[in-house]
Chains A and B, each alone.
Chain A
Amino acid sequence: MTEAQTLPKMVGERVRRREDPRLIQGRGTYVDDIKVAGMLHLAFKRSDMAHGRILSIDTSAAEAMEGVDLVLTGAQLAETLGPMPILTPFPAPAHHSMATDTVRYSGEPVAVVVATDRYIARDAADAIVVEYEPLPAVVDPDRALAGDPAVLFPDFTNILGQTGTNVALYVPAGTGVDPVAGTMDNTAIERAFDEAEIVISQRMWNQRLAPSAMEPRGVIAHWEPGKETLTVWSSTQNPHMERNYLCGQFGLGQDQVRVIAPEVGGGFGAKINIYGEDYVACAVSRRIGQAVKWIEDRSEAFVATTHGRDIVADLEIAAKRDGTVLGLRTRLIADIGAYEMLFTALIPTLTNGMLSGVYNIPAIRSELYEVFTNKTPTDAYRGAGRPEGIYFVERGMDMLARELGMDPAELRRKNFIQPEQFPFLTQAGNLYDSGNYEPTLDLALKNAGWEALKRERDAARAAGRIVGLGIAFYVEICGIGGWEHASVLVQPDGRVTATTGASSHGQGHETTFAQLLAGQFGVPIEHITIHHGDTQIVRAGTGTFGSRSQVAGGTALMNAGEKVKDRMAEFAAFMLGAEAETQADELEFIDGRIQVAGSPAISRSFAEVAAFAYLGGGNAAAAGIPYPDASSGLSEEAFWEPAGATFPFGCHISMVEIDRDTGELKLLKLVAVDDCGTIVNPLIVEGQVHGGLAQGIGQALMEGVVYDEDGQLITGSFMDYAMPRASDFPRFELDNTVTRSPHTPLGTKGIGEAGTIGSTPCLVNAAVDALSPFGVKHLDMPLRPEMLWRMIQGGAS
């Protein structure tokens, strides 16, 4: 694709990551690697019951143990610590860091032990005895909707004014829905279905997942009496948000609390939330005036870290027989688990917003119900609401193509939003910034060899093999979450120190952000240091989530950089004044020098100019010398918020084979063409896509959080929760198109979640295609061998 504007040098280069030398030598510092003098250790006693009333908690055996400093129950802690704040604006039941009188999911903390070491803390937690009166466990979301077999919060009144219900939130969306007036006009959606020549109707489930960053969560809280400051090291994606919430909870000023996200070992959305354990650690440290540390075990992570997805859709698509889609209607039930965390209620509403996919659908209607169940709460997980929406749409489109006997690629092409329609306001309510879908589809079809693959599939089938082809076309919303902040300082020696509020946890900001500044200033990338993840060093910030860092953070950084560059140019123009009549805006920054455009001989080095700027003007102004105004120095900052969200997109194609005897599915081929706008570092973008694909394929094939009918978690370790391993994947074949966003100066859009969104429906579509000779029309994930084997044996889908 042609570029409409010249990009800064360095943008687009495959720069090796600057984070890596420390990490490949075991010198990264994660939360658990940090020790503070006098630090004590926490362990939590957790509920082993999904739903029950706490009758008694006996902590005497724990308290009697050598090395145990303190034991606190939820009720004791609640005497001084209020319920946890959340970010969503809807009514929500109170939720304490530890259960006070009722437990509502297996794994909910009920007491905390403070001890001299981790082993003793764990022993003591195990010695706490809790007596419960069991209550019926709400596990099935359909039954939960009807208040069966119990209501989790009998006193809670929801947004509809209903009490005595498990419905946490109801959000209608789409054509004819006026959220402000609270009215619903059904004319358009009913007409679409009245005029339909064919209607696809399917219930489908986007199952519950465990985010499973390789580093479990962890926190160290250190309250220093006398200084009256709280320092917190937390494995978080957004230290500034965590600081603000901790301040609110403890009545502290935002200048008293410092939150540090050191090296963070992955997040995938699950480390946005500010968890009860963090509040407890701070409360305990405040109480005892010593530092305390809590590190999550993996077994704890499966119950205590928020889950993702878990939305069931009753989907209908109305279309004409030529493939023109007339309308899409769905009822969504989101099983949000037992409580609302920071963003819980918001995530499924993003599913509502994506229901137009990449298609010009004239009428859309969704009714979303979020229900409480006795499970771990859900919150963001890579894609956060978008993968669910796109999964439903892309499965539905595939079913429509199959019913009509159309090529699924051509059905999609027929319904695409056309390039000239952008910016395009979908009937689901999102305003798409830019898009050009056909070239992406064509490139994916070409790279995959679509027609040849079809022949290959048919030949394999004729030979008795079970082979299928799948395609999916996704779009997602990025750049949301408001403003981001950056600062840029040129040091007296010409080195550049910058900060970003986007808190990297594997994304490589120290590299890509340095590329931006290196391009702007024309200096070696080695002369630039990017700081992030510390509220004392980074003056303001929002955080890294929703594929927003390059869009919001990168632009903020470039804006701050531009301001410093202007200052540098003024000083350089002054220095060059004797050699040439030159204006600051005529200078260019290149190869470590600032020069008159096109005249490298008339130049100063970047470092010379920086050093000169720091000398100050002395009496220059009084002497009538036109010395640049030095009062703002070479330090600038910028807040920046995109004028609108960005909408990256892409097309994924896969080929799968299912073993007739075992039902085992093998992914033979995966071709991805993604369009994330301008690419700053192709190496890092590839890495993001690979990781996203792996998680999306993991959801399609093997991952799934499973509860039994009593609300006990069955998938509580990596033994039972199938995380994909290296041998589960073929070599992914990637490519890109570039459709710039109008909202960002570089045209960037965001890439973090893309792979997760397209690959999941792509794989399921391929599996359904493979099993279509057996009469299969739909398969719910994960596509485990046993289920596929049953289909081959003639089980209905």
Chain B
Amino acid sequence: MAQIPVTLKVNGRARRVTLEPRTLLVHALRENLGLTGTHVGCDTSQCGACTVLINGQSAKSCTIFAAQVDGDEIATIEGVATDGVLHPLQEGFWEEHGLQCGYCTPGMIMASIDLLKANPDPTEQEIRDGLSGNLCRCTGYQHIVNAIQYAARKEMSQ
């Protein structure tokens, strides 16, 4: 199948790749760029394991073609910690045991970044509602909620 060039700006780095027009963003990230932290948990955009940020907004990378985000700013889990320092959300997930198998975690963290950006001081119910696009089968969500509350507290105090 014909290939097209696409520029993917991921975590602040521009990479030029050639791929089939039908290549999903998640596959371009994982297969072309080797950024395997973004996971595929379903093929119908319900589970949110593949959540990334596109121009700062959370989006499911399994439901968008790589060619559609040519030139856009994409952020993935690999770029969330800076200079070896964990993001408050990553810290929260660690401190509060917000993960077990870890498969949904990158998507959860990316979705939570967007959630806290829109609402820096959410109530527990707002957090639970804000995670409606992300499934976790291990944790029962309570420690994930705690993790996001931890990050919100930390970011508010900074």
A-side residues, CB < 8 A to B, are 16-17, 19-21, 23-30, 32-33, 118-119, 212-216, 263-266, 268, 297-299, 505-508, 683-684, 686-687, 689-695, 717-719, 723, 725-727, 729, 731-732, 755
Residue of A nearest to B145 (CB): A726
Residue of A nearest to B130 (CB): A726
A691 touches B135 (CB 8 A): no
B40 touches A32 (CB 8 A): yes
Which of B23, B102, B127 lies in contact with A23, CB distance below 8 A?
A: B102
B47 touches A686 (CB 8 A): no
B41 touches A215 (CB 8 A): yes
Q: Which B residues lie within 8 Å of A506 (CB)?
A: 100-102, 138
B59 in contact (CB, < 8 A) = no
Q: Indicate whether A25 sits within 8 Å of B37 (C-beta atoms), given known contacts A506-B102, A508-B100.
A: yes
Q: Which B residues lie within 8 Å of A686 (CB)?
A: 97, 143
Nearest Cβ on chain A to B60's Cβ, whole angstroms: 12
B76 touches A212 (CB 8 A): no
Give the CA-CA distance A264 to B141 in the complex, in Å: 19
Q: A20-B93, A690-B139 are in contact. List 9 more A-B contacts (CB 8 A).
A: A25-B86, A30-B103, A214-B136, A297-B43, A686-B97, A717-B43, A718-B42, A726-B145, A732-B140
B99 in contact (CB, < 8 A) = yes
Residue of B nearest to A117 (CB): B31
A266 touches B44 (CB 8 A): no
What are 27 A-B residue pairs whose CB atoms fall within 8 Å in the complex? A16-B97, A17-B94, A21-B86, A24-B93, A25-B81, A26-B36, A26-B37, A27-B37, A33-B36, A119-B20, A213-B101, A214-B39, A214-B41, A214-B101, A214-B104, A214-B136, A214-B138, A298-B42, A298-B43, A683-B97, A686-B143, A689-B140, A690-B142, A694-B137, A695-B137, A726-B141, A732-B142
Q: Which B residues lie within 8 Å of A687 (CB)?
A: 97, 100, 138-140, 143
Give the CA-CA distance A118 to B143 in the complex, in Å: 36
Q: Which B residues lie within 8 Å of A213 (CB)?
A: 101, 103, 137
Give the CA-CA distance A308 to B140 in the complex, in Å: 19
B46 touches A717 (CB 8 A): yes
Which of A20, A264, A298, A505 lies in contact with B99, CB distance below 8 A?
A: A20
Q: Indicate whether A725 sits within 8 Å of B132 (C-beta atoms), given known contacts A24-B109, A690-B142.
A: yes
B99 touches A718 (CB 8 A): no
Which of B42, B100, B140 lies in contact with A717, CB distance below 8 A?
A: B42
Q: Which A residues lie within 8 Å of B35 (CB)?
A: 26
Which of A119, A212, A507 lies in contact with B100, CB distance below 8 A?
A: A507
The A interface, classified by DSSP as helix, strand, loop or mixed, is loop
Nearest Cβ on chain A to B114's Cβ, whole angstroms: 15
The B interface, classified by DSSP as helix, strand, loop or mixed, is loop
Chain B 113-128: CB-based contact to A (< 8 A → 1; otherwise 0): 0000000000011011
B58 in contact (CB, < 8 A) = no
B-side residues, CB < 8 A to A, are 20, 22-23, 27, 30, 35-44, 46-47, 49, 76-78, 80-81, 86, 90, 93-95, 97, 99-106, 109, 124-125, 127-129, 131-132, 134-145
A26 touches B99 (CB 8 A): no
Nearest Cβ on chain B to A780's Cβ, whole angstroms: 24
Nearest 3 A-B pairs (CB), nearest first? A26-B37, A265-B103, A506-B101
B97 touches A25 (CB 8 A): no
Give the CA-CA distance A263 to B64 in the complex, in Å: 27
Q: Give the tally of cross-chain contacts (CB within 8 A).
A: 180
Give the CA-CA distance A33 to B81 in the complex, in Å: 20
Residue of B nearest to A723 (CB): B135
Give the CA-CA distance A348 to B19 in the complex, in Å: 49
Q: Which A residues lie within 8 Å of B39 (CB)?
A: 30, 32, 214-215, 265
Chain B CB within 10 A, most for which of A25, A28, A507, A718: A25
Residue of B nearest to A25 (CB): B81
Residue of B nearest to A694 (CB): B140
Nearest Cβ on chain B to A510's Cβ, whole angstroms: 12
A723 touches B43 (CB 8 A): no
Residue of B nearest to A755 (CB): B140
Give the CA-CA distance A266 to B103 in the complex, in Å: 8
A119 touches B22 (CB 8 A): yes
Q: Indicate whether A266 sits within 8 Å of B131 (C-beta atoms), given known contacts A26-B76, A299-B44, A683-B97.
A: no
Give the CA-CA distance A299 to B145 in the complex, in Å: 29
Give the CA-CA distance A725 to B44 in the complex, in Å: 16
Q: Which B residues lie within 8 Å of A17 (CB)?
A: 94, 97, 99
Q: Which B residues lie within 8 Å of A21 (CB)?
A: 86, 94
Which of A298, A689, A731 lies in contact with B41, CB distance below 8 A?
A: A298
B47 touches A693 (CB 8 A): no
Give the CA-CA distance A639 to B136 in the complex, in Å: 35
Which of B44, B81, B139 lies in contact with A691, CB distance below 8 A?
A: B139
B99 touches A691 (CB 8 A): no
Q: Which A residues lie within 8 Å of B46 (CB)?
A: 717-719
Q: Indicate whether A690 sits within 8 Å of B140 (C-beta atoms), given known contacts A32-B36, A265-B102.
A: yes
Give the CA-CA distance A213 to B136 in the complex, in Å: 9
Residue of A nearest to B144 (CB): A726
Chain B CB within 10 A, most for which of A33, A212, A691: A691
Residue of A nearest to B49 (CB): A214
Nearest Cβ on chain B to A303's Cβ, whole angstroms: 13
Nearest Cβ on chain A to B41's Cβ, whole angstroms: 5
Give the CA-CA distance A17 to B93 in the complex, in Å: 10
Q: Which A residues lie within 8 Å of B109 (CB)?
A: 24
Give the CA-CA distance A263 to B101 in the complex, in Å: 8
Q: Indicate whether A26 sits within 8 Å of B78 (C-beta atoms), given known contacts A214-B103, A691-B100.
A: yes
B101 touches A265 (CB 8 A): yes
Q: Which B residues lie within 8 Å of A19 (CB)?
A: 102
Nearest Cβ on chain A to B124's Cβ, whole angstroms: 7
Give the CA-CA distance A732 to B141 in the complex, in Å: 10
Q: Indicate whether A693 sits within 8 Å of B140 (C-beta atoms), given known contacts A20-B99, A214-B103, A687-B97.
A: yes
Q: Which A residues lie within 8 Å of B104 (CB)?
A: 214
Give the CA-CA distance A505 to B138 in the complex, in Å: 10
B100 touches A266 (CB 8 A): yes
A723 touches B140 (CB 8 A): no
Give the CA-CA distance A23 to B20 in the complex, in Å: 30
Nearest Cβ on chain A to B93's Cβ, whole angstroms: 5
Q: Which A residues lie within 8 Å of B86 (CB)?
A: 21, 24-25
Q: Indicate whether A216 sits within 8 Å of B93 (C-beta atoms), given known contacts A28-B102, A729-B141.
A: no
Residue of A nearest to B142 (CB): A690
Nearest Cβ on chain A to B119's Cβ, whole angstroms: 15
Residue of B nearest to A681 (CB): B97
Chain A CB within 10 A, most for which of B78, B128, B134: B128
Q: Which A residues lie within 8 Å of B105 (CB)?
A: 23-24
Q: Which B residues lie within 8 Å of A507 (CB)?
A: 100
Q: Which B residues lie within 8 Å of A729 (CB)?
A: 128, 140-142
Q: Indicate whether A717 sits within 8 Å of B44 (C-beta atoms), given known contacts A24-B93, A212-B137, A266-B138.
A: yes
Give the CA-CA distance A507 to B106 in the complex, in Å: 18
Nearest Cβ on chain A to B83's Cβ, whole angstroms: 13
Nearest Cβ on chain B to A95's Cβ, whole angstroms: 27
Nearest Cβ on chain B to A527's Cβ, whole angstroms: 20
Give the CA-CA distance A32 to B46 in the complex, in Å: 20
Residue of B nearest to A67 (CB): B1
Give the CA-CA distance A190 to B131 in the complex, in Å: 54
Residue of B nearest to A684 (CB): B97
